[in-house]
Amino acid sequence: MHWDWAVAAEVFPRLMAGLVVTVQATFVGAALAYALGLVLAILKMSENRAVRWTVYWLSEFIRRTPLLVQLYFLFYVLPDLGLFLSPFLAGVIGLGLHFSTYTSEVFRAGIENVPKGQWEAAKSLNYTMAQTWTRVVLPQSIPPMIPPLANYLITMFKETPLLAAITVVELFNAANIYSNSYYKYLEPMTLVGALFLLVSIPSAYAAMWLEQKYSRRN
């Protein structure tokens, strides 16, 4: 077995197209994970015990079951119930739901770190609840959350090969389809690893830089 540059050149455009899908799935899934995670964090701090416990156990159920099983449920089980999702949509929903249970804990910790005096000050200024959240709480709590949220973004990027199980032609699946068609595995899979490293290593350094930046501010 030896490296064949002709094979590498042939498969590379397919891998780049797959990488675009991978990046798209990562960012769309992350946007959903962040938005839903913030909602879950707020609900977990609700004064209503029933709401708190319902959201807590729902989050635990999603977090403690494999992402792959959740993807299969969204893409293969929901059609039996009359709900059909495209592979890409099922993939980003799966990523977003799964990782929202992790980002919710980041948001909850950040929100709980806002001093009680800030809440009382907002109340004394007759701020509405919406004004309190948007003008006082979130501006103070979000900056320290950026490093861990960035780390989850990188983790989500590395989990995208699971989308191949529901026929999303992302980076790994693009290589897999080519390899199974031409029985060439060395070049496609090596390039997949190289492309993942090419994206994830700079992203990891960026996350470390953000962590150092905001830790100095605190």
As a whole number, the mean pLDDT across the chain is 91
pLDDT digits (tens, 9 = 90+) for 99-108: 999 999 999 9
Residue 41 has which token pair? 């964090």
**Domain formed by 17-172, architecture:** Orthogonal Bundle (1.10)
Q: Where are the domains of the chain?
A: 17-172
Q: Looking at the predicted structure, is the pLDDT value of residue 172 above 70?
A: yes
Q: Looking at the predicted structure, is the pLDDT value of residue 174 above 80?
A: yes
- Tell me the C-alpha distance between 27 and 153, whole Å: 8
> 85-89, 130-134, 154-158, 181-185 — which is least confidently predicted?
130-134
Q: Which residues 6+ apart lie within 8 Å of 150 measured at CB?
A: 203, 206, 207, 210
**First CA to last CA across the chain, in angstroms?**
54
Residue 1: per-residue pLDDT: 67
pLDDT digits (tens, 9 = 90+) for 49-86: 999 999 999 999 999 999 999 999 999 999 999 999 99
Residue 128: per-residue pLDDT: 85
User: pTM of the full predicted structure?
Assistant: 0.88
Contact indicator for 179, 8 with CB cutoff of 8 Å: no
Q: Which of 158, 111, 159 is nearest to 139 (CA)?
A: 111
- Work out whether the CA dihedral 166, 170, 176, 181 comes out positive or negative: positive
Contact indicator for 78, 66 with CB cutoff of 8 Å: no
More reliable by pLDDT, 95 or 138: 95
Mean pLDDT computed over 105-134: 85
